């Protein structure tokens, strides 16, 4: 295993050092302390801009769009008014760039354009004393303000380099080192983690990297340390998960975390190293495009808070990615809200491509798969206001931090959130690691997944079993705490060598038309997401685009759950905002408030009705209920107007104690005024179980294992049906209908191990 790991790491490192076509011939790659990295060329400017780009600055100043950005920068030169200075200065005060730092940055920019020595000298003398004497009060995330201040110094140092005196260079370097030692990552920057956490953000990916490039000729140590860690840890991890075209930190922290990946992209490319990232980086933000709801909000993921006061946008990463990769879909997203934070305005002026076109997502395929190490699927019925959106997750790996323990979870949106992620990030309970956060919100119980409740299980901060371990989270019956309890992996080597693997993709696909698929299928084994209380957990999702205005979509979820002890109770979960209605094996969730009007009707086909205990849990005092305790978290005033954190859930449990149980649930999606839904029939074959719904036939292996020999099932009813038969051994199958050859040879295989075809009622036999 270790040998394979080191080979994999070497391959990633080799990939990372190759770069991409934009690389400049004057940039050489050098081995520094065992890490291959590009060396800053012996020219200035080399930070954010090169000499060949300086002539374009005047054109940019006359660009209609960038003139607005320039006007903002000019206004930001003004010092804080006394009445605007908060009594308590947190990191936001220092991160909201204004006054001196903006003035000297614009002086340095003007010097590049004019080469007027007076302007260059003014920039240097205006900042150097402040760099040397600056102090920062203790405050959470204050490193962001310190790092931004260092960036200003780096800009002056690099852009006004030929105006610096030798003594001033020494003063700058000493000041930079002093400030670097104040950073949370430390100096040398060895603290914290490289995949998640604050060291995966501004400090290394932008701030220290920028200063290191500026002062490299006189003091190569800072660049060697920052770039050394970046190329050894940050880049290797990202080039591992970028081929999946996705990110792992949820839809709130995607903004800052991914933005910093893009800053490193731009910084190194402008230095002359080219694109050192996997090209899959371009498509990470497509996840946001696919998760965008018709109301402008984004389908929840990870640590999020809710508000419908304004649509949710990702302006900074959308601008950075679209302008670099010349991506018109991402530019369309940016132009919906082309506002960039003050501390990044200068970069918008330098890097934004205002000539780039804009393209709506209307011609993108309606389904999107994000492969290993995630295993996520998004399926839509369209891009307009009547669209159904469904998310399905396996989670091959869990990254922790702002990612949740939600392997096997799903969400459904139609004219309002129907099957939801429950809970919220901040509120009366607090934020990160608050009682609500660690006991409910991040845990499996807050998601549409599966619980297996071992009453003796304890969720320790340092893993399972052993002595003298601290209890960290309540027993929700959910998935284990990977790593050492709540500790995320520092780097890719630790992730691959540790116990962060939580699932495996078994099958995935959509079709038969890839642009507007009738079905979207995902199956995974999530046994590893749980502790030894389970022997096997597999979940299959089948989303059906019914292409019907009255009942536009359906979702089928088939589960196999094998517990280590038959007495461990199993729960199938479905979360909602409003109270569900339960009649027999049918459950109805409606949205009737806040302008929403969607409806989800779930029919439970397994367990059998005589063995199914179906309960609704929720309401005031039980909205975030975890087996005896409610982890209250009231929203902040003026937020979560639609109660998207939810208040109710449905729990389905087998009445009879058993080691092995199966669930088969069929959810139809419609407007809440729709009176008539499709009849739901269960198909029972000798080796398959399935669903007949509208004009669709879907089957799964009855045991969730691959079917490698002949089997039969019967279909009744009028009309032509679309069949999707899953869980088949790859290869050629022959299909008989009513004893006659119907399909002489059909090949299953590829990624979905399925057959899809059309047929009518009859007795079907499949031969291998």
Task: Tell me which of 161, 253, 453, 519 is the catalytic residue.
Answer: 253
DSSP string for 39-69: PPPS-S--SS--GGGTTHHHHHHHSHHHHHH
Q: Which distant-in-sequence residues (6+ apart) come within 8 Å of 758 by Cβ?
A: 720, 721, 722, 723
User: What distance in Å separates the CA atoms of residue 191 and residue 175, rounded to the nearest whole number?
Assistant: 21
Report how far Cα 360 is from the mean position of its chain's Cα atoms. Answer: 22
Pairing of strands 762-767, 711-715: antiparallel
Tell me if 259 sits within 8 A of 319, measured CB to CB. no
List residues bridging with 670 in a β-sheet.
Answer: 599
609-to-134, 477, 583, 664, 713 alpha-carbon distances in Å: 70, 24, 11, 12, 22
User: What distance in Å separates the CA atoms of residue 540 and residue 383, rounded to the nearest whole number?
Assistant: 25
Kindly report the backbone phi and psi dihedral angles of residue 68, in degrees, each rounded to the nearest multiple of 5, phi listed first.
-65, -40
Q: How many CB atoms lie within 10 A of CB 566?
A: 13
Task: Tell me which of 402, 404, 447, 678 is the catalytic residue.
Answer: 402
- The per-residue b/e assignment along 700-730, b for 16 or more CB within 10 angstroms, e otherwise, is bbbebeebeeebebebeeeeebbbbbbbbee
The two three-digit tokens of residue 307, written as one number: 């508000």
User: What is the DSSP-derived secondary structure letter of residue 231?
Assistant: I
Task: Tell me which of 157, 161, 187, 198 is the catalytic residue.
Answer: 198
DSSP string for 587-645: EEEE--STT--EEEEEEEEES-GGGEEEEEEESTT-TTEETTEE---PPPTT--TT-TT
Reply yes or no on whether 402 is catalytic.
yes
Sequence-ordered strand ranges (E) for 686-752: 688-693, 696-701, 711-715, 721-725, 731-737, 740-748
- CA-angle at 646, arms to 641 and 652, nearest 5°: 165
Tell me if 347 sits within 8 A of 105, measured CB to CB. no
Q: Which distant-in-sequence residues (6+ apart) come within 8 Å of 237 by Cβ?
A: 194, 195, 491, 492, 495
User: What is the DSSP-derived secondary structure letter of residue 105?
Assistant: H
The two three-digit tokens of residue 202, written as one number: 């501004």
User: What distance in Å separates the CA atoms of residue 454 and residue 472, rounded to the nearest whole number?
Assistant: 16
What's the burial of 114, exposed, middle or buried (CB within 10 Å: 0-12/13-18/19+)?
exposed
Q: Which distant-in-sequence residues (6+ apart) come within 8 Å of 401 by Cβ?
A: 196, 197, 249, 253, 488
User: What is the DSSP-derived secondary structure letter of residue 512?
Assistant: S
User: What distance in Å separates the CA atoms of residue 733 and residue 648, rounded to the nearest whole number?
Assistant: 45
Reply yes or no on whether 332 is catalytic.
no
- CA-angle at 93, arms to 92 and 97, nearest 5°: 95
Catalytic residues: 198, 253, 402
């Amino acid at each position: 295993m270790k040998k394979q790991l080191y080979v994999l790491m070497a391959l990633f490192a080799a990939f990372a050092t190759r770069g991409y076509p934009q690389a400049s011939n004057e940039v050489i790659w050098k081995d520094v302390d065992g890490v291959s990295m590009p060396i800053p060329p012996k020219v200035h400017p080399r930070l954010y801009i090169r000499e060949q780009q300086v002539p374009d600055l005047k054109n940019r100043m006359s660009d209609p769009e960038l003139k607005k950005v320039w006007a903002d920068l000019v206004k930001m030169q003004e010092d804080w008014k006394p009445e605007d200075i908060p009594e308590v200065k947190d990191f936001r005060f220092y991160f909201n760039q204004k006054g001196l730092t903006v003035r000297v940055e614009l002086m340095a920019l003007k010097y590049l354009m004019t080469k007027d020595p007076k302007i260059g000298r003014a920039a240097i003398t205006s900042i150097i004393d402040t760099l040397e004497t600056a102090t920062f009060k203790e405050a959470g995330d204050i490193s962001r303000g310190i790092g931004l201040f260092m960036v200003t110094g780096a800009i002056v140092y690099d852009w006004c380099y030929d105006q610096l005196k030798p003594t001033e260079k020494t003063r700058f370097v000493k000041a930079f080192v002093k400030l670097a030692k104040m950073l949370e990552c430390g100096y040398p920057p060895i603290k914290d983690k490289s995949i998640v956490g604050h060291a995966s953000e501004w400090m290394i990916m932008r701030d220290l990297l920028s200063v290191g490039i500026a002062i490299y000729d006189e003091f190569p140590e800072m660049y060697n340390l920052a770039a050394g860690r970046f190329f050894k840890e940050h880049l290797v991890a990202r080039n591992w998960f970028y081929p999946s075209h996705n990110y792992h930190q949820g839809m709130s922290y995607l903004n800052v975390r991914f933005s910093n990946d893009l800053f490193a992209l731009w910084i190194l490319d402008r230095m002359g190293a080219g694109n050192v990232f996997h090209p899959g980086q371009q498509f990470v933000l497509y996840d946001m495009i696919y998760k965008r709801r018709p109301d402008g909000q984004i389908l929840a993921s990870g640590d999020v808070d809710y508000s419908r006061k304004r649509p949710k946008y990702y302006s900074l990463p959308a601008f950075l990615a679209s302008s670099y990769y010349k991506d018109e879909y991402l530019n369309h997203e940016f132009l919906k809200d082309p506002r960039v934070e003050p501390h990044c305005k200068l970069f918008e002026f330098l890097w934004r491509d205002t000539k780039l076109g804009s393209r709506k997502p209307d011609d993108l395929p309606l389904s999107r798969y994000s492969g290993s190490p995630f295993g996520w699927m998004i399926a839509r019925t369209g891009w307009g206001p009547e669209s159904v959106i469904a998310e399905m997750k396996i989670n091959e790996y869990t990254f922790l931090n702002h990612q949740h323990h939600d392997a096997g979870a799903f969400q459904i949106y139609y004219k309002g959130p129907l099957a939801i992620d429950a809970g919220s990030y901040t509120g009366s309970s607090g934020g990160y690691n608050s009682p609500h956060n660690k006991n409910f919100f991040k845990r499996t119980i807050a998601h549409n997944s599966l619980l297996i409740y071992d009453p003796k299980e304890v969720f320790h901060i340092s893993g399972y079993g052993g002595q003298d371990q601290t209890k960290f989270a309540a027993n929700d019956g959910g998935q284990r705490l990977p790593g050492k309890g709540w500790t995320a992996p520092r780097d890719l080597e630790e992730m691959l060598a540790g116990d962060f693997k939580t699932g495996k993709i078994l099958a995935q696909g959509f079709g038969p038309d890839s642009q507007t698929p009738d079905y979207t299928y995902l199956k995974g084994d999530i046994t590893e997401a749980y502790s030894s209380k389970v022997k096997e957990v597999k979940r299959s999702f089948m989303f059906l685009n019914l292409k019907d205005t009255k009942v536009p979509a359906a979702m089928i979820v088939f589960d196999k759950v094998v517990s280590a002890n038959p007495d461990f109770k199993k729960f199938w979960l479905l979360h909602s905002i409003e109270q569900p209605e339960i009649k027999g094996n049918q459950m109805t969730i409606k949205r009737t408030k806040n302008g929403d009007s969607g409806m989800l009707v779930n029919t439970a086909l397994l367990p059998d009705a005589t063995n199914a205990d179906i309960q609704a849990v929720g309401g005031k005092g039980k909205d975030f209920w975890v087996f005896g305790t409610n982890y209250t978290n009231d929203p902040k005033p003026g937020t979560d107007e639609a109660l998207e954190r939810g208040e109710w859930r449905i729990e389905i449990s087998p009445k009879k104690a058993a080691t092995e149980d199966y669930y088969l649930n069929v959810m139809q999606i419609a407007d809440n005024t729709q009176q008539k839904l499709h009849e739901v029939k269960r198909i029972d074959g000798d080796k398959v179980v399935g669903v007949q719904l509208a004009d669709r036939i879907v089957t799964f292996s009855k045991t969730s294992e691959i079917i490698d020999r002949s089997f039969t099932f019967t279909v009744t009813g009028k009309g032509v049906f679309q069949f999707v038969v899953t869980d088949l051994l790859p290869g050629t199958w022959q299909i008989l209908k009513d004893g006659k050859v119907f399909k002489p040879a059909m090949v299953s295989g590829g990624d979905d191990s399925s057959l899809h075809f059309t047929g009518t009622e009859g007795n079907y036999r499949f031969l291998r």
